Chain A
Amino acid sequence: MTIQLNGQPVELPEDVKNIDDLLRHYQLENRIVIVELNHEIADKSKYTQLPIADGDKVEMIHFVGGG
C-alpha cells in the first residue's frame, strides 16, 4: 500500500499492517516517537490496534538527543 508519510508518498511492504509494524519497519520501536494518523495523535498503548490503510496520512516525529 501507499501512504503519505511526512508529506511524501511512501510504498510500504505487505507485512506492515498497523502503527506498531510501521515503527518496526523504520527501526523506531525503541525510540521516543509521536505519531499522527489522519490528523489525530495515535495513543502509544494502542499502536498494534491501529491499522493503517492505503492513502492514510501519517506524520511521524522521533526524538533525538544531539545538539
Chain B
Amino acid sequence: MSIARYSRQELFSPIGKVGQKKLKDARVLLVGAGALGTSSAEMLVRAGVGHITIVDRDYVEWSNLQRQQLYTEKDVMEQLPKAVAARNRLKEVNSEVIVEGIVADVNGMNVEELVKRHGLILDATDNFETRLVINDAAVKHNVPFVFAACVASYGMMFPMIPGRTPCLHCLMDHLPAQNQTCDTVGVISPIVQLVTAYQVTSALKILTENELQPRLQSFDIWKNEQAVINVESLKNKDCPTCGSHPTFPFLAYENQTKAAVLCGRNTVQLRPGMERSIPLDKLALRLKELAGDVTVNPYLLSCTYEDYRLVFFKDGRALIHGTSEPAQAKAIYHRIVG
C-alpha cells in the first residue's frame, strides 16, 4: 500500500493514523446501489474502509446515469446488475479494499445474515418497507444504521445507534399511504451528494469512534433550507423493535411483501405484508406524465409503464405484467408507490 494514499485523511486530527487503522478493519454494509448507494460507496472505498458489501436487486438503466455516479453507458448497454457494475468500478477506484457485490432483494428472510457480519449499515434503499426490515435486524444484532433518503431537491438523514437513540420504528409507526418517489417527482444530483456527505460523515465518526450527536436532519438544497430535530424523547419503551419486549415485526414472514409468480402469464402479484391503502385517484394524477393509458375505477388503477402493464388495487396489492422476476416486480412497485 502506498504510504501517501490516505495521508490527507490521517492529517485530519479527529481521524489520524489510529482512525485510519479502524477504517481499514471496518466492515460496512450498503443496502442499495442507486444514487445514495453509489455516492456513499465511492466515498467509503476512497477513504480506505477495508470491507464493503453492496447489495442491490436492480440493473443499470439510462435514467440512472444522471446521478448514479459509479455507472457508465457501457453498463447500461450490457444491462449489468447494479451490484456487479458498482463492484467493478469500486475495485478500480481502490484495489486494496475488499468489495463484495451481491445481486439480491433484501427482505426479512435474508437481512439478518447480511447484517450480522458487518459493523455498520448505510441505508441507500428506495422504500420504507426495506428500511424498517433493516432497522429490525440492526437493532436485533446491535449494529448502527445510518438512515438516509432523498427525493426532488429534499433529503434527510438520521444515525440510528441501537440502545442509544430511538429506532426508525419509533420515528415512523406506520407505512405512509403513498409517497413521492424519484420516479414520480424526480431528483437532482446535488441533493444526493448533500445527503451522502452527511451520511458518510456520520459513518466516519461511528467507525473511528468519534463523538456523534444523533440528530434527525433534513435539507432542501433548492430552497436553501435545513432543519435539525433532537428526537431522543421519541424513543418509545413499548416500540415493537427497540422497546423492552421486542418482537421485530418486520423480520416475521407474515409481514413481508409476498410475491407470487403467476405461471405462464409473465406476471407477478405483490401483496404487502402490512396493511396499506393506496389512494388511487391521487396516484393517477401523479402517474399522468410517467405512465400511459392510466385508467381508474373505484377498485383499481391500471396503466402502462416502460415495458410493463401495472394494476394497483386499493388494498395495496398489485399485478406487474411483463416480468416473472419477483425482485424486478418489487423494484417497479417501490418506484411507483414508494
Chain A interface residues (CB < 8 Å from chain B): 6-8, 30-32, 34, 36, 41, 59-67
Least CB distance from A19 to B in Å reads 14
Interface of chain B: mostly helix, strand, loop or mixed = mixed
Cβ of B105 within 8 Å of any chain A Cβ, yes or no, is no
Partner of B149, one of A41, A59, A65: A65
A-contacting residues, B142-173, CB 8 Å: 148-151, 154-156, 171-172
Q: Which residues of chain A are within 8 angstroms of B156 by Cβ–Cβ distance? A: 61, 63-64
Chain B interface size, as a band, is 35 or more
Interface contacts (Cβ under 8 Å), in number, total 87
Whether B227 pairs with A66 at a CB distance below 8 angstroms is no
Interface-located stretch among B125-133, B299-307, B310-318: B125-133
CA distance A62 to B227 in the complex (A): 10
Q: Which residues of chain B are within 8 angstroms of A30 by Cβ–Cβ distance? A: 176-178
Chain B interface residues (CB < 8 Å from chain A): 32, 34-37, 123-128, 131, 148-151, 154-156, 171-172, 174, 176-182, 187, 216-218, 225-229, 231, 233-234, 334, 338
Whether B154 pairs with A65 at a CB distance below 8 angstroms is no
Given contacts A7-B227, A34-B229, contact A63 B125 (CB under 8 A): no
Q: Which residues of chain B are within 8 angstroms of A7 by Cβ–Cβ distance? A: 225-227
Q: Which 10 A-B pairs have the closest CB atoms?
A: A66-B151, A65-B338, A6-B227, A66-B182, A61-B218, A67-B36, A64-B151, A65-B179, A59-B227, A67-B126
Q: What are 23 contact pairs spanning A and B, CB under 8 A? A: A7-B225, A7-B226, A34-B171, A34-B216, A34-B229, A41-B231, A59-B228, A59-B229, A61-B156, A61-B218, A63-B156, A63-B171, A63-B172, A64-B180, A65-B131, A65-B181, A65-B338, A66-B179, A66-B187, A67-B37, A67-B124, A67-B126, A67-B148
CA distance A4 to B36 in the complex (A): 30
Whether A64 pairs with B155 at a CB distance below 8 angstroms is yes
Given contacts A34-B216, A67-B34, A67-B35, contact A6 B226 (CB under 8 A): yes
Q: Which residues of chain B are within 8 angstroms of A60 by Cβ–Cβ distance? A: 227
Q: Which residues of chain B are within 8 angstroms of A36 by Cβ–Cβ distance? A: 229
CA distance A64 to B34 in the complex (A): 15
Q: Which residues of chain A are within 8 angstroms of B218 by Cβ–Cβ distance? A: 6, 61-62
